[in-house]
Structure 1
Amino acid sequence: MIELELLAPARDLECGKAAIDHGADAVYIGAERFGARAAVGNSVSDIGELCRYAHRFAAKVYVTVNTIIYDNELDDTSSLIEQLENVGVDAVLVQDMAVMGMVKKAARHASTQTDNRTPEKVRWLRDIGFRRVVLARELSISEIAEIHDKVPDVELEVFVHGALCVAYSGLCYASQYCFNRSANRGECAQFCRLKFDLSDSSGKVIERNRHLLSLKDMNQSANLERLVDAGATSFKIEGRLKDISYVKNVTAAYSRLLDDIVCRNNGKYRRASLGHCNHGFNPELSKSFNRGFTTYFADGRQSDMASMDTPKSIGEFVGTVKEIRGTSFNVAGVSSFANGDGICFINDNHELEGFRINRVEGNRLFPLKMPCNLHAGMKLYRNNDVVFERLLSKSGQIRKIPVAMFLTSTEDGFVLNAEIKGLCAASFVLKAEHQPALTSQRENIIRQLSKLGNTVYECSEIIVPDDFDYFIPSSILSEMRRSVIDKLERMSGSFPVNGNCLDESKVSSVPEYPDAVMYNISNSRSRTFYERKGKTSLKQAFELQRDTDVPIMQCRYCLRHALGFCMKNGGKKAQWHEPLYLSLPDGRRFRLEFDCRNCQMNIYK
């Protein structure tokens, strides 16, 4: 049976617990340092508490140590990983090969920062000791299937939801070049969300003051089963900077979808953790932060990937402006509204404007302040639904693990067994005299054994033999129930089993690197790793040599295609003179290179 894992983000301990409560099979979280989101670090103590919480449900905790490391940080990194392994983390996500050798107990996962887009690269990562590879977001479903077919013995993790980087992960140096904030060090300044002018070599302006590199958010909810069929087994939600409401809603939505896939496939799949959730709300992906949705390259290159008007959340479409009258307007659509809702629209200058609703009368809305650029026919979006947010805030610990109980008699007492199906069982033996029951005790036995209260368990079944005709006081039944559940609780921490595919000694014989593009080498240990295969002409990481001539971005997304001028894909012929340039308001300019043979756009400083 194939295990399917929903992997949710955890900004902090609270978000991590909420993700588990709402259906995640695993969470990924950053430690105090060396994670690809430097702004959201967590103490080893908090990560240890999250591990204990997750492991009760056989859920796992992965920690991101996926930045490049400098020589003077190697000892601190090694110490951090040792501490993380001691508190029970199940895997460490790695970019820097110096870090890989530090991971001894936990599984090694190759971060998407290692630029994983070919079967050859995935095979190489498997051969040097990675149990799992996080694939590039840009891959199509057919490309994922090809990787699985050619390298079937490695776990494949794919992104299914959330923000998209316009460049291949690990190959973006724009933030470092422009702001001295390295994306490979967890400090991305989101260069791709800025406004640019696009001009040609003659100075002709093609697009002015638009977010030309800002992409919509990924949403593969409609493609989830196809990704399962392609061989992916872990489905990752982006969002370690997102708040707890986002985590609850998006996790719950994808958890339900995975449950449906498991149910439809007659025992072929199972969820990777225990328990089921009873949500106090109906998950709706459009109600959480989003810039509009795209399936990106799931089915090849699409024309509508970018969010050029705004890099901010627009939320869900709720209707169009029908008529404006004084300080109010009415909406054509079926959505209902509430006081305090946040509404936004794209004005005629391609800019996002927003306002808050002060009063609602049917489909007539009274803004707190009437926006001057609003007019009839404009599309409206809601990026803050106060009623939905209220439901999310009330949604707490809602995940329960089914437990079957069996009560039998022995020669000198009774035995109560509790079992989590297919995983573990606990017993409590009571030595006591048998007292014949004057009336049937079955209803009271079931009632007392079912009282699991605030524990993470719920009774799925209570079996009492038909000939069981003994009297057991309710207080004794409660004691037996508490004791057997306490035993299950103590056993639950050992559910996940971590460990590596290969031991460190095998890494010394590194197989040939498949496509030597860039290594992001920032320390001597990483350099030695590659030199073991005779690679002596290795460049330092971009962060250590500013005069390098590599592109500051390599993108599968292509502006020529996005604007409708890709002749290769049926676009119209452009009336400009290449090369094209992106310009920031401060005058800095960046040259575009269209590598049509590889269907790739490169951006140079």
Structure 2
Amino acid sequence: MKPEILAPAGNLEKLKAAINFGADAVYLGGSKLNLRAFANNFTNEQLKEGIDFAHSRDKKVYVTLNVIPHNDDLQGLEDYLREVYELGADAIIVSDPGIIMTAREVVPNLEIHLSTQSNNVNYKSAIFWHKQGVKRIVLARELSLEEIKEIREKLPDTCELEAFVHGSMCMSYSGRCLLSNYMTGRDANRGQCAQPCRYKYFLVEEKRDGEYFPVIEDDKGTYIMNSKDLCMIEHVPELMETGIMSFKIEGRMKSSYYVASVCKSYREAVDAYIEDPVNYKFQQKWMDNLLKPSHRQYYTGFYFGDPNKQIYESSSYIRDYDIVGVVREYNEETNIASIEQRNKVFQGDTVEVLRPVGDNVIIVLNDMRNSKGESIASAPNAQMLFTVNIMEKLHENDILIKCKEEK
């Protein structure tokens, strides 16, 4: 069985990047009832465009309706479910039994996936949800590989399993957290998490107002609730042995560059294993691509039964590389590449090309010109189009990245 690579799509650009760089399916938020209230969620028109783009390439789109809804959130639910179905979504991702029940009544032919927010950690619960019409269980992140194997063995073949393999982790139980609501009034379970677990904390004694004591003995505070990022790229064979049929990547709020890099690495790793499991060998270039976009320190989560490594001393992202442009066109006769800017880049800069297929290559940006053909020293304006003279053949949707500090 070849597992699906399932990628986040925070907007249309990210959806297209995910699919161009190897995703089999994407998940995204529509206009209602999803847990990323501050992402650039899709309007119905954008959703239709994204679904058409994916389906034209034999890929799938899953729409998240994974909030824990209050009564007010249910207003218009039936109409919205019909809209999602009529737009051609391949499945909805749901955590609430009321929404599941309504979906079965209103759009009985729309596939239902159980969100990780439902905290499914055992086979009995999975069987229960499957009997309610759920086709796929998105497992809680607090499971080991051995537990997942046992769940798979005790489920009917008609019930699929999906699990996160990469991305941010939550200090709470698969996302069920009230800390944001308590501290900021923004409900994480209704899509508005302020991530207070990433804040810097000190200890204060009630009668010593103004005296702040670090929980660890340094002057930077402590991050007692902060989680590392999950990364299982070095353990694809172990994941394959569990029977998981969808490898899920976290990050609807992350950049197109992040999405492209992660999809490319997991696509290549999974394909290499499928092609020759016996002689499969991990390639360092896969990890190299994952270390360049913004991320926190990596670890393997709960998969190997060692959750104590989850907390660490910093909430800072590691940001060694930035995306500086996306190739829109390349003329092989003139060697002129048209680039759409993403971050400021200069004439003569050395950049790396991340492409959907093949190894990365290093190029130098020569003869930089604006849309009027005038020579320019830099491309400072967001999404401006500029050209460069490059002997290396580039392709549409290639991504140009640059090390933030030359080494």
Distance (Å, rounded) in 1 between the aligned partners of 2:307 and 2:319: 21
1:207 maps onto 2:216 in alignment: yes
Please list, as runs of the form range in 1=range in 2, the aligned pairs for 1:298-377 lying within 5 A after superposition. Answer: 298-309=303-314, 311-315=315-319
What's the CA shift for 1:152? 4.0
Distance (Å, rounded) in 2 between the aligned partners of 1:215 and 1:171: 15
- Counterpart of 2:97? 97
Identity of aligned residues (%): 35
What's the CA shift for 1:3? 3.8
AA in 1 matched with 2:13: E
AA in 2 matched with 1:286: L
1:258 maps onto 2:270 in alignment: yes
What's the CA shift for 1:117? 1.1
Of 284, 296, 300 in structure 1, the residue corresponding to residue 301 of structure 2 is 296
1:189 maps onto 2:194 in alignment: yes
**C-alpha spacing 1:150/1:198, structure 2 compared with 1 (3 Å):** farther
Q: Is the 8 A contact 2:215 2:222 kept in 1?
A: no
AA in 2 matched with 1:142: E
1:48 maps onto 2:57 in alignment: no
Distance (Å, rounded) in 2 between the aligned partners of 1:207 and 1:93: 40
Q: Is the 8 A contact 2:201 2:214 kept in 1?
A: no
**C-alpha spacing 1:118/1:48, structure 2 compared with 1 (3 Å):** same
What's the CA shift for 1:18? 1.1
Distance (Å, rounded) in 2 between the aligned partners of 1:83 and 1:253: 34
**C-alpha spacing 1:244/1:201, structure 2 compared with 1 (3 Å):** same
Unaligned runs of 5+ in 1: 267-280, 317-336, 341-357, 360-384, 400-453, 456-605
AA in 2 matched with 1:207: I
Max radius of gyration: which structure? 1
- Counterpart of 1:367? none
AA in 2 matched with 1:12: N
- Counterpart of 1:217? 229
**C-alpha spacing 1:287/1:129, structure 2 compared with 1 (3 Å):** same
**C-alpha spacing 1:213/1:299, structure 2 compared with 1 (3 Å):** same
AA in 2 matched with 1:106: L
Of 271, 287, 298 in structure 1, the residue corresponding to residue 292 of structure 2 is 287
1:6 maps onto 2:5 in alignment: yes
Distance (Å, rounded) in 2 between the aligned partners of 1:221 and 1:282: 7
- Counterpart of 1:243? 255
What's the CA shift for 1:75? 3.6
1:171 maps onto 2:176 in alignment: yes
SS of 1:387 mapped into structure 2 = strand
Poorly superposed stretches of 4+, deviation over 3 Å: 198-206
Q: Which has the higher contact order (CA 8 A, sep 6+)?
A: 1
Q: Is the 8 A contact 1:94 1:108 kept in 2?
A: yes
Of 359, 384, 387 in structure 1, the residue corresponding to residue 351 of structure 2 is 387
Cα displacement string for residues 237-270 of structure 1 (whole angstroms, at most 9, x for unaligned residues)? 100001111111111111001111210149xxxx
Distance (Å, rounded) in 2 between the aligned partners of 1:170 and 1:124: 21
- Counterpart of 2:381? none
What's the CA shift for 1:175? 0.9
Distance (Å, rounded) in 1 between the aligned partners of 2:44 and 2:288: 32
Unaligned runs of 5+ in 2: 279-285, 325-344, 359-394, 397-407
- Counterpart of 2:32? 33
Distance (Å, rounded) in 2 between the aligned partners of 1:225 and 1:199: 47
- Counterpart of 2:133? 129
Q: Is the 8 A contact 2:165 2:249 kept in 1?
A: yes
AA in 2 matched with 1:62: Y
- Counterpart of 2:390? none
Distance (Å, rounded) in 1 between the aligned partners of 2:297 and 2:45: 37
Q: Is the 8 A contact 1:32 1:44 kept in 2?
A: yes
What's the CA shift for 1:301? 1.4
1:16 maps onto 2:28 in alignment: no
- Counterpart of 2:155? 151
What's the CA shift for 1:170? 4.5
RMSD: 3.0
Q: Is the 8 A contact 1:7 1:25 kept in 2?
A: yes
- Counterpart of 2:68? 68
- Counterpart of 1:320? none
What's the CA shift for 1:101? 2.5
**C-alpha spacing 1:313/1:284, structure 2 compared with 1 (3 Å):** same
Distance (Å, rounded) in 1 between the aligned partners of 2:177 and 2:101: 25
Distance (Å, rounded) in 2 between the aligned partners of 1:232 and 1:212: 32
Distance (Å, rounded) in 1 between the aligned partners of 2:206 and 2:144: 34
The normalised TM-score by structure 2 is 0.71
Distance (Å, rounded) in 2 between the aligned partners of 1:242 and 1:35: 16
Distance (Å, rounded) in 2 between the aligned partners of 1:301 and 1:52: 42
Cα displacement string for residues 386-431 of structure 1 (whole angstroms, at most 9, x for unaligned residues)? 724xx24xx58x79xxxxxxxxxxxxxxxxxxxxxxxxxxxxxxxx
SS of 2:102 mapped into structure 1 = coil
**C-alpha spacing 1:220/1:182, structure 2 compared with 1 (3 Å):** same
SS of 2:266 mapped into structure 1 = helix
What's the CA shift for 1:211? 1.2
AA in 1 matched with 2:234: A
1:117 maps onto 2:158 in alignment: no
Q: Is the 8 A contact 2:176 2:188 kept in 1?
A: no
